[in-house]
Amino acid sequence: MTATRPKKPKPAPSRTAPSTSRAKQSRDALRVYRAEPDTRPENPLREGTRLERIPAPCIVVVFGATGDLAQRKILPAIYNLRRAGLLPPESVVLGFSRRAMTDDEYRDFAKKAVSEHSRVTVEEGMWDHFAEGLHYQQGEFGDPPDFRGLEERLEQIDAEQSTHGNRLYYLATPPAAYTDIVSNLGKVGLDRQREGWARIVIEKPFGHDLESARALNDAVMHVFEESQVYRIDHYLGKETVRNLLVFRFGNGIFEPLWNRRYVDHVQITVGEDLGIEGRGEFYEDAGASRDIVQNHMLQLLSLVAMEPPIAFEADALRDEKVRVLRAIDPVWTEARVRAQVVRGQYTAGWSADHKVPGYRQEAEVDPESRVETFVALKLEVQNWRWADVPFYLRTGKRLPKRATEIAIQFKQPPLMLFREATTHPEANLLAMRIQPDEGILLRFAAKVPELGLDVRSVNMDFTYGSSFSRDAPEAYETLILDAMLGDASLFTRADEVEAAWGIVSPVIDTWREWDHEVATGTQPTREDREGTLADVDGGEGICFYEAGTWGPEAADKLIEHDGRRWRRL
């Protein structure tokens, strides 16, 4: 085949695993993690009251308490939960950070943060109640004595506030600090669940590739049990994502159609009209594959493709999700990457009504950067339900609009009966819009009311907004509450993380190899790439697209090669 080429001897970048061992590596990734259900004594009087959704009093220890995430998301979310009466009044928030601050200073700091970022305005009286349970402890993440100080402080709060030893450790720090915090928590025995529970919330990214994800999981699991670990991906806390489950498993008519017999292919789009919005440094390290594909898109894919879980319960749900990811072939030969993955980067152009710079011109971005702002790829879920049904995924920055959608494209009717019809009707389509305007659209053929017999596609469009108009809670509120209640359904289990990296990591590794070749001038010649998608990329292994368009031409070729088209959104 044209895509194969002689391997030139070269120093491989350190992260790259030799391709022969990839299969083995991904088989190793099939480690199984199960969370044990939480048991607490039943209180029969709680049934049917909101109390069923009110967790036991606990101390939330926020590591990185002065950081951006704490300010923008965590503190406002906890305050709003408290305001909505969903947290018991004894609840305590203990900030832990490097910066020297008194409790009172931290309260002022938190008040400012919450006032700025909360979806509802802060009421003075309510705030004062909340602030009473707000404390601060200074400490270094890497310093065991500081953790002993933390332990003493926690015990002191337990004694004063009857929080009964329940602790929720929230890692809102840069990922680099995760292992230090976890091991220090372990050293002073704060992972142990004696009187109450101890749980740890870890923010994404969970690792940088398969290797680092496994290292992180190992480090965490060295100290905590899987049942204590809550890996938060705020995307899963969104109302719509849970709607997806209700739509699939709360309705009887769709499930029979949900398979290779009726479905031609599935398209998942996560489009953003924004650029990188000043987060150049972060994005240079991440790229769309780490930022969106590994977590959000593969989550959506597994929710769409999963088998019905035996119960709407954390492990049953996650067992099915992880099974989908394992049914995706993790072996990426270079030819497969060339044929099924498109890497793109935006250049200067127009976004809506203003001119925007290209990615390489953004602040904190290497002017020679080869980081992808767009990824389109084709995946196949190799199981009985989905064999031969391709899943086309695309995501990008600076696309024409913000749109997250899953489209189930059904097969063409077997026979076109209406011969005199001037146009062929399109195949049926079921689209689930995640954002904005969450809703569900079904497209089917209808006769145009005339004497002749013209057939045209019409849309039946349901928007949640017009049937239920009310505020949905913030994703962080839902998830923090779930963690306190011990419901891990919407959190990512270790094996899910690893399975997802098992799919994405090899692709990134291949790109790194190409980048290395470009940097050292050893990339293959044009003839080598002929007939592949890389043909249109100008020889760089990365395809450029103008800001404000739906990605590079190669992305269109990727799907048109199979005789299909991207949906127009």
Partner 1 sequence: MTAPAAERIEVATTRWHARASSISETVQQLARIWGTAAEAEDASHANAGDDASASPSKIKGRMRTSVLTLVVIAQRPETAERAMAIVNALASRHPSRAIVVSPGDPDGPTTFDAHIYAACHLSPTSHAEVCTEEIFIKTGGELSQHLSTAIAPLLIHDLPVVLWWPDDPPFRSRHYHDLAEMADGLLVDSGSFRDDGRLGLRGMLDTMTAGNTVHDIGWARLTLWRELLASLFDHPLLIHELPGVRHLRIDVAKPGTTMRIAKAACFAGWLAAQLGWTVSRPIQEAPHGDRLVAELLAGRRIIPVEFRPIQAGSGSNVPGTGSLMRVEMELVRGRAQTRARVTRQADHLLATADWNGAQVARRAGTLEPFEETPFLAEALDRTSGDRVFEMALGKAVELVGLSP
By C-beta, is 139 or 165 nearer to partner 1?
165
Residue 461 touching partner 1 (CB under 8 A): yes
Smallest distance from the beta carbon of 6 to partner 1, in angstroms?
49
Spell out the alpha helix ranges (H) of 13-143: 22-28, 68-69, 75-83, 103-117, 124-132
Q: What is the DSSP letter of 422?
A: S
**CA dihedral of 320, 324, 326, 328, whole degrees rounded to 10:** 180
Residue 459 touching partner 1 (CB under 8 A): yes
By C-beta, is 284 or 454 nearer to partner 1?
454
Question: In this chain, which stretch among 39-47, 114-122, 152-160, 325-333 interacts with partner 1, using CB under 8 A?
Answer: 39-47
Estimate to the nearest angstrom the gap between the alpha carbon of 313 and the chain centroid. 20
Q: CB–CB of 178/202 below 8 Å?
A: yes
> Applying CB under 8 A, which of residues 15, 72, 148, 164 lies at the interface with partner 1?
164
Give the Cα-Cα-Cα angle 478, 484, 486 (nearest 5 degrees): 100
Residues 47-106 that bind partner 1 (CB under 8 A): 47-51, 54, 56, 85, 88-89
Smallest distance from the beta carbon of 443 to partner 1, in angstroms?
7
Residue 520 touching partner 1 (CB under 8 A): no
Residue 438 touching partner 1 (CB under 8 A): yes
By C-beta, is 20 or 49 nearer to partner 1?
49
Smallest distance from the beta carbon of 441 to partner 1, in angstroms?
10
Cβ count near 480 (within 10 Å): 27
Question: In this chain, which stretch among 58-66, 153-161, 244-252, 433-441 interacts with partner 1, using CB under 8 A?
Answer: 433-441
Tokens representing residue 439 in the block? 């809703």
Q: CB–CB of 268/431 below 8 Å?
A: no
Contact string (CB under 8 A) for partner 1, positions 229-248, x = contact: --------------------
By C-beta, is 30 or 460 nearer to partner 1?
460
Helix (H, G, I), strand (E, B) or coil at 500: helix
Residue 124 touching partner 1 (CB under 8 A): no
Smallest distance from the beta carbon of 532 to partner 1, in angstroms?
33
Tokens representing residue 405 in the block? 């959608």
Give the Cα-Cα-Cα angle 547, 550, 552 (nearest 5 degrees): 80
Residue 138 touching partner 1 (CB under 8 A): no
Residues serving a catalytic function are 296
Count H helices, E strands: the chain?
A: 18, 17
Question: In this chain, which stretch among 17-25, 133-141, 217-225, 450-458 interacts with partner 1, using CB under 8 A?
Answer: 450-458
- Per the listing, tokens 């064999």 go with 387
> Applying CB under 8 A, which of residues 31, 456, 561, 565 lies at the interface with partner 1?
456
Question: In this chain, which stretch among 167-175, 268-276, 469-477, 535-543 interacts with partner 1, using CB under 8 A?
Answer: 469-477
> CA-to-CA distance for 359 and 543, rounded, in angstroms?
13
Smallest distance from the beta carbon of 274 to partner 1, in angstroms?
18
> Which pairing describes strands 198-203 and 229-232: parallel, antiparallel, or unpaired?
parallel
Question: In this chain, which stretch among 42-50, 208-216, 251-259, 328-336 interacts with partner 1, using CB under 8 A?
Answer: 42-50
Question: In this chain, which stretch among 43-51, 374-382, 392-400, 507-515 interacts with partner 1, using CB under 8 A?
Answer: 43-51
Residue 350 touching partner 1 (CB under 8 A): no
User: Which amino acid type is present at position 161?
Assistant: Q
Question: In this chain, which stretch among 311-319, 402-410, 467-475, 478-486 interacts with partner 1, using CB under 8 A?
Answer: 467-475
User: Which strands sit side by side in the sheet containing 429-435, from one edge to the other?
Assistant: 455-463, 439-447, 429-435, 403-410, 263-271, 390-396, 374-380, 341-347, 543-546
Residue 458 touching partner 1 (CB under 8 A): yes
Q: What is the DSSP letter of 56?
A: P
> Applying CB under 8 A, which of residues 37, 142, 144, 465 lies at the interface with partner 1?
465
By C-beta, is 45 or 253 nearer to partner 1?
45
Residue 194 touching partner 1 (CB under 8 A): no
> CA-to-CA distance for 143 and 159, rounded, in angstroms?
25
By C-beta, is 56 or 536 nearer to partner 1?
56
Smallest distance from the beta carbon of 470 to partner 1, in angstroms?
6
DSSP assignment string, 397-429: SS-SS-EEEEEEEEPPPS----TT-SSPPPPPE
Residue 462 touching partner 1 (CB under 8 A): yes
> CA-to-CA distance for 97 and 135, rounded, in angstroms?
11
By C-beta, is 88 or 539 nearer to partner 1?
88
Helix (H, G, I), strand (E, B) or coil at 10: coil
C-alpha separations of 320 from 306, 437, 503, 540 in Å: 6, 28, 17, 39
Contact string (CB under 8 A) for partner 1, positions 378-417, x = contact: ----------------------------------------
> CA-to-CA distance for 103 and 244, rounded, in angstroms?
43
> CA-to-CA distance for 456 and 445, rounded, in angstroms?
5
Q: With CB under 8 A as the rule, give the number of residues binding partner 1.
A: 39
By C-beta, is 183 or 457 nearer to partner 1?
457
Give which of 255, 345, 270, 273 is closest to 301, Cα–Cα: 270
Q: CB–CB of 288/373 below 8 Å?
A: yes
> CA-to-CA distance for 170 and 78, rounded, in angstroms?
12
Which residues form the interface with partner 1 (CB under 8 A)?
A: 41, 43-51, 54, 56, 85, 88-89, 162, 164, 436-439, 443, 456-459, 461-472, 568
